[in-house]
Structure 1
Amino acid sequence: MQTKAYAAATAKAPLGPITVDRREPGPNDVVIDVLYCGVCHSDLHTARGEWPGILYPCVPGHEIIGRVTSVGNDVKNFAEGDMAGVGCMVDSCRTCSPCEHDLEQFCAGPHGFTGTYNGAAKGGLPNTFGGYSKQIVVDQHFVLNVRHSDDQLAATAPLLCAGITTWSPLKHWNVGPGKKVGIVGIGGLGHMGVKLAHALGAHVVAFTTSESKRQAALDLGANEVVVSKNADEMAAHADSFAFILNTVAASHDLDPFTNLLKHDGTLTLVGVPEHPHPSPSVAPLIFGRRAIAGSLIGGIAETQEMLDFCAERGITSDVEMIAMKDIDHAYDRMLKSDVKYRFVIDMATFN
């Protein structure tokens, strides 16, 4: 089947309209009309060829909310008319140990998980095409139930990446009441980290390099805000955090944050920098039994858990709606951090 999409023809070309082939739906497939698609930094890196192995034409988008238009005969949990979500993955091997434990993001199969875009496609197609499109066909295992109200759907889209990327480590490291938790960076990921950690009952300290973001972080739910360039503010929190989630994708010194961990505390990274971070000092890790860890999105079951949690509490991302034709301008603004805090494409603007 064919559908209209917006694609980068090359790494240097602006995105523009294209017609792409989707596989013919099979018995386990769900066909979704895309209503909204969030814009992630990964979209920009991929479309502009900043990561290796990019196939063109490239149709980005892995924060997808849409309406189910048809389902295969073997589909159990979705019906025509349902609201559904699709995140960063559309397939995995499903037989390796991580997949069997609902950790498809760590699929140990020969090709790892299949990305929603720029991944190996089924049906003889060369690569997967993402949510900057009118329709998408996805195996039922990788489709999420969306229970937010209709007026929240656009702001729900970024939960499929920014939400689960922060939820998964918060849950894995048992963030909740009685825990003092730090969130480094107040952007697309960080603003969701603050909201979710607050909703989980933790005492949340937001870290930003900008004094101008102090009130915004408090408004998101932070109990305290620290300007990380201020040595006195940082020193006041030494040896006090059980967990710090670092959402910053730019290369920076991790030592100031590991020094804030109490013994057995963990600093978890979810941002991948263009250049490696400077090597951290080993002594603070050894003498405090502190850890530096990483985390990658989340499995499908965990993503559904996050969506349900957010729907019950009315939690969404803070978004700015854009038209499909304005995507390159949005990329340029995103590079300047000129968005609070996530762009979402209204696919009704793409005809």
Structure 2
Amino acid sequence: MKRFFLALALLPALALGAANDIVTNQRNGTDTSSIPRTVAKPPGTQDGIMGFNGATVLPVHWTIGQGLSISSGALVSLPQAWADITGKPTFATVATTGAYADLTGKPALFSGNYADLAGIPATFPPSAHIQAWSTITATPTTLGGYGITDGVTQSALTTMLGSYATTAAVTAGLATKFNTPAGTTTQYVRGDGSLATFPAIPGGTVTSITAGTGLSGGTITTSGTISMPNTGTAGSYANVTTDAQGRVTAGTNRSQSAATRALNTAFQISTTRDAWVSYSVQITVTASISGGQNGDVILEIASDSGFTANVQTLAISGLGQTYTLAIALQGVQPQTGVITGYVPAGYYTRLRTVNNTGTPVFSYRAGQEVLQ
């Protein structure tokens, strides 16, 4: 009910307000009730700040005066126009073109002439930069007068030069010691100073030139050409053969081919070229309650077909299977292993199978042999 009566009390205030005016409540002077107040908005589209008028004890809108503005919710000052500044000094009117000639009250500039300077000396003309020494007075007469403290005096120089030999003394000292020769360009001076003639250098001839090892064209007795013959065919090779002089006489390039080989049989890949080999062999093992199987495939080489000399093992591939507690009656597991190795030229190769446990089944699958 109180809110209803309060709304009725606000109706007169609302009726007196204009569009966009602000209606607010203000406590009365005895602080016993609230009085509705209508605050008129700033004129037109001007911004305003709501405040309190101490003289009328009423809320009021203040408009934003010149030089101020509201930016991002804050009251900020604007750059002041010169005409709006009060209390500024009064300046005399001057030319505003920026030309120096339009300025008044300018100081007199120096003409640049030496004669226009004050207090200049009158004893010599300023334009003469080479002054005669005779016109300069009070000049010193000794080195000390010029401030030179490390100069050589005449007496010290005489004493120092007295220790050196004169020309006459040098001539007398060398007399009879070394003759001045007056020979020709084909002569030379001996250690005792006497002249001697160079001996004639005898000439000679080559009677024959023999071609060395690996060269052709000799023996030459008059004229001819010694050359190096071709020893091979020009090209790029992966492997080369050289002679005793280091010349390439033959060359080979790598070549590869698929290979099918029998197990447990010796075979020779090449008698002249090394080979890189890769073979795939499948091992099948069977395991049951009664036992398992285990086997290996061994890639080995030897220098003889009977595998009795220089035997080497290159690679081993194995497979095995056993059941500790068999769930199935029997398990069969095939697996293919790859064995690779390097086989020197002339060596024999063998894929040997080994039954470690039981009798596994071995079968050759594929292979590749790369001749180097």
Category of TM-score, reference length = shorter chain: under 0.3
Look at both structures and tell me which one has the larger radius of gyration over its CA atoms.
2
TM-score (norm 1): 0.16
TM-score (norm 2): 0.16
- Which protein has greater RCO, CA pairs closer than 8 Å, 6+ apart? 1
